[in-house]
Structure 1
Amino acid sequence: MITAADRALESGIETVDEFFDGVFAPLDAWLPRLSEQLRQQLRGGPMSGAQLAALVEPEAHAILDASDRPLYGAGYCASESVVSEGNPLAWWQGPERSLLASSTFGPGQAAIDLVRLEWYRVPLATGERHVAGPFVDYLCSNEITITSSIPVMLDGGFAGVVCADVLVSSLEGVLLPSVAELPEATLVNAGGRVVVSSDPGYETGDRFAGGGLDSLDDSVRVARSSRYPFALVAPR
């Protein structure tokens, strides 16, 4: 028997799917244009970070200005085959649309190995789009963030990822009203981390007691996303 609680969970996860569909939509639209620009630019060999930033800036600004989702940042992180020197991350963020000018944590600290970050590493390994987080984004915003990324493929080779960031605080404003009648609903990612929750016992980033998506059982109500690594969970 389908209960009101089950319907509320299904409605909530549909809201999540629609939200991330809207995050990915401008990245999908940008991808073929970026790929063609890169092919033309790379005929003369790899670019510098400054050349990459000049190439990417108009589209990144357009995505941030036109998206109907509360995007915090957007841009392109190039592979070594595309950028030979300088910053491979052409990224703009915040209300001021500021350029992230360095891929380091701060003065005197070592450069970040971007290849080790989930939003880059997983598309590189799988060739598929990915949603990473929640995590504290020390590279860009210093806020709890979810990054959606799509691999850029040039002539069959991996050339980096296009990405967009959403702050979890923005996602809370979208999701929580849709599950208001479920005071203990929790959005969980594939690794069993809490994304957002109406349960006062959970905060973003906590480990969910029921485990990851593969561990959830009949002791809880579950509505699973059909497209993204999330499930909305509530006690029975």
Structure 2
Amino acid sequence: MRKVVSRDGTTIAYEKTGEGPPIVLLNGGFRDHTIFDPLVPELAPHCTTYVYDRRGRGESGDSPEYAVEREIEDLTAVIEAAGGESVVFAGSSGANLALEAAMAGAPITKLALHEPYFRIDGYPQPPADFLAALKALLAGDKRGEAVEYFLAELVGFTPDTIAEWRQTPLWAMNEANAHTLPYDAAICGDFKVPVERLAPMRIPSLVVSSDSTSDWLSAAARATAQALPNGWGMELPGSWHRVQTDILGRVLAGFTATR
């Protein structure tokens, strides 16, 4: 992987693929850049894709103290490697990070978001001490329990669904990256759509959701699109928290190419 150095000196690893206008792909919780392995081939004939390991994951470094501002600087460093400005596609809690970066003035030309991690009124909210409880589990080196807590209290998984996830090959990555879950929780803040803070933002913004995702994720996507002054929503075929890759690729390629 290629390397870029973020503002605080942390090394961020990324891969560059394809030809055409740049698009940076930003993942959410648990995952590293490999989550985009199926999507990159769909985009590469039309775009130059940049996928990277967020700090604390994969081949990227980390710092002793976490701050959302450092992750914004990481994304900005990758965008600078992409030529100084770029379209950004981000999913899940990564979508929350991309919004924070855009509001902070990162050089994002257009923003595509997949099901940001906001909780709309009327849906169950995470516990008030969610972040503190998560950190306590990790401080006790209870990585598996921390993952289960995150999935149960934030994602809303039942014990049976969590048990099923434990049997999948991805569970090892879940536990390996468990120490970064407080990063994602910090990025999400109070899990409310920041309507007032988004009001001045004029970046063209597309918010996509799956037609088979959770109700709370669909509601969060709709509310985010409505809060963005230059935003619009789109529901696409898919499964839970995932859009069909070939369709998503076509949508993102067109979105990136359109002026």
Q: TM-score, normalised by structure 2?
A: 0.28
Largest Rg, 1 or 2? 1
* Greater per-residue strand proportion: 1
